[in-house]
């Protein structure tokens, strides 16, 4: 009887050890990269997306778009190995060009991209119009002249400069824009928002939880509606207020003009 129990225990231990080995193998990751340069002429329209990964966009020469993709993949329970799928992606990366329109990261239902993370480093002409989306990851965008639309499910968004309109949205993370020469629309579920607007244009800024600092350069003239669930509101410009309380402030600066709307569920608001 003891021999039988010992055999059963040994068998169970071997099965458990085997299962642990499978988990360990499945958790292993492989890495790879691809590098492509596309010739362009005229204003570029860039559409880049990734399910999971960071996106970095910087200005460069006016006649090319340079794309570096950094891949990380894990083995699947069934199907091609991570290494095999990475080699396939390196050979045929998800890059499409139609004249001056560049689309990066469109993968459809291709099983090669399961359990795959791709981060992009892209160099574009300065006048590029940018639309970038990530399911999870940070976005860094340098000084460009075109409009910018950046969205991530979770991560920070940092825009050095845009001479056009800026739309930025993250489910959880901070948003920063050094200089925006057009209208602003910024949303974060949880995080701080800090933006500088260099032209007279509308601004609509909202965070579920975090502080907001909005710098309006020059001699701003705007209509303000600002609310916070918990925090202070400070406006450095002389203002004619029609609604003023601890957590709400509405009125005009410089005789009114552009619409400036700021809302935070929990945090302070500073406009200067």
Residues 269, 171 within the same domain: yes
Query: Is 19 within a domain?
Result: no
Of the candidates 235, 268, 228, which has an alpha carbon nearest to the alpha carbon of residue 254? 235
Residues 103, 158 within the same domain: no
Range of the domain at 112: 28-125
Residues 117, 159 within the same domain: no
Residue pair 100/41 in contact (Cβ under 8 Å)? The answer is yes
Helix runs in the chain, H state only = 2-26, 82-91
Q: Read off the pLDDT of residues 7-66 as tens digits, 9 standing for 90 and up.
A: 444 444 444 444 444 443 444 789 999 999 999 998 999 999 999 999 999 999 999 999
Residues 268, 147 within the same domain: yes
Residues 105, 142 within the same domain: no
Residues 78, 198 within the same domain: no
Residue pair 256/223 in contact (Cβ under 8 Å)? The answer is yes
Residue pair 127/40 in contact (Cβ under 8 Å)? The answer is no
Range of lowest pLDDT (78-87, 98-107, 133-142, 151-160): 78-87
Residues 118, 206 within the same domain: no
* Domain end marker among 125, 152, 167: 125
Residues 216, 247 within the same domain: yes
Query: Is 256 within a domain?
Result: yes
Query: Is 162 within a domain?
Result: yes
Burial (CB count within 10 angstroms: exposed 0-12, middle 13-18, buried 19+), residue 17: exposed
User: What mean pLDDT is predicted for residues 74-87?
Assistant: 90
**Cα angle, residue 123 at apex, residues 102 and 94 outer, rounded to 5°:** 40
Q: Could you tell me which residues are beta bridge partners of residue 64?
A: 39
pTM for this structure? 0.88
Residue pair 112/37 in contact (Cβ under 8 Å)? The answer is no
Q: Could you tell me which residues are beta bridge partners of residue 253?
A: 222, 239
Of the candidates 136, 114, 115, which has an alpha carbon nearest to the alpha carbon of residue 49? 136
Query: Is 155 within a domain?
Result: yes
Residues 100, 165 within the same domain: no
Of the candidates 136, 141, 102, which has an alpha carbon nearest to the alpha carbon of residue 121? 141
pLDDT the model gives residue 28: 78
Q: Read off the pLDDT of residues 86-105 as tens digits, 9 standing for 90 and up.
A: 999 999 999 999 999 999 99
Cα-Cα end-to-end distance for the chain: 83
Q: What are phi and psi of 7, to 5 degrees?
A: -65, -40
Strands 248-253 and 222-228: antiparallel
Residues 266, 199 within the same domain: yes
**Cα angle, residue 248 at apex, residues 245 and 250 outer, rounded to 5°:** 100
Query: Is 121 within a domain?
Result: yes
pLDDT band (50, 70, 90) for residue 2: very low
Residues 110, 144 within the same domain: no
How big is the chain by its Cα radius of gyration, in Å? 25
Q: How many domains does the chain fold into?
A: 2
Range of lowest pLDDT (17-21, 55-59, 74-78, 188-192): 17-21
Q: Could you tell me which residues are beta bridge partners of residue 90?
A: none
Q: Could you tell me which residues are beta bridge partners of residue 68?
A: 35, 121
Over the chain, what is the mean pLDDT? 91
Cα 260 from Cα 197, distance rounded (Å):
11
pLDDT band (50, 70, 90) for residue 76: confident
Residues 113, 162 within the same domain: no
């Amino acid at each position: 009887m003891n021999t039988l129990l010992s055999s059963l225990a040994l068998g169970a231990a071997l099965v458990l050890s085997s299962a642990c080995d499978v988990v360990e193998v499945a958790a292993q990751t492989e890495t790879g990269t691809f590098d492509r340069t596309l010739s362009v002429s005229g204003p570029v329209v860039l559409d880049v997306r990734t399910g999971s990964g960071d996106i970095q966009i910087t200005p460069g020469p006016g006649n090319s778009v340079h794309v570096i993709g950094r891949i990380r993949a894990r083995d699947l329970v069934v199907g091609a190995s991570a290494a095999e799928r990475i080699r396939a992606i390196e050979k045929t990366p998800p890059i499409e060009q139609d004249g001056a329109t560049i689309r990066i990261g469109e993968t459809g239902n291709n099983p090669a991209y399961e359990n795959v993370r791709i981060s992009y480093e892209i160099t574009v002409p300065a006048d590029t119009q940018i639309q970038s989306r990530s399911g999870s990851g940070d976005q860094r965008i340098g000084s460009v002249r075109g409009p910018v639309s950046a969205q991530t499910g979770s991560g920070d968004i940092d825009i050095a400069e845009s001479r056009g309109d800026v739309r930025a949205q993250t489910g959880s993370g901070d948003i920063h824009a050094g200089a925006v020469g057009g209208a602003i629309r910024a949303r974060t579920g949880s995080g701080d928002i800090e933006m500088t607007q260099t032209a007279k244009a509308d601004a609509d800024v909202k965070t579920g939880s975090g502080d907001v600092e909005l710098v309006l350069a020059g001699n701003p003239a705007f209509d303000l509606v600002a609310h916070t669930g918990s925090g202070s509101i400070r406006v450095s410009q002389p203002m004619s207020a029609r609604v003023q309380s601890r957590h709400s402030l509405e009125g005009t600066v410089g005789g009114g003009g552009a619409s400036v709307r700021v809302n935070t569920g929990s945090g302070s608001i500073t406009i200067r």
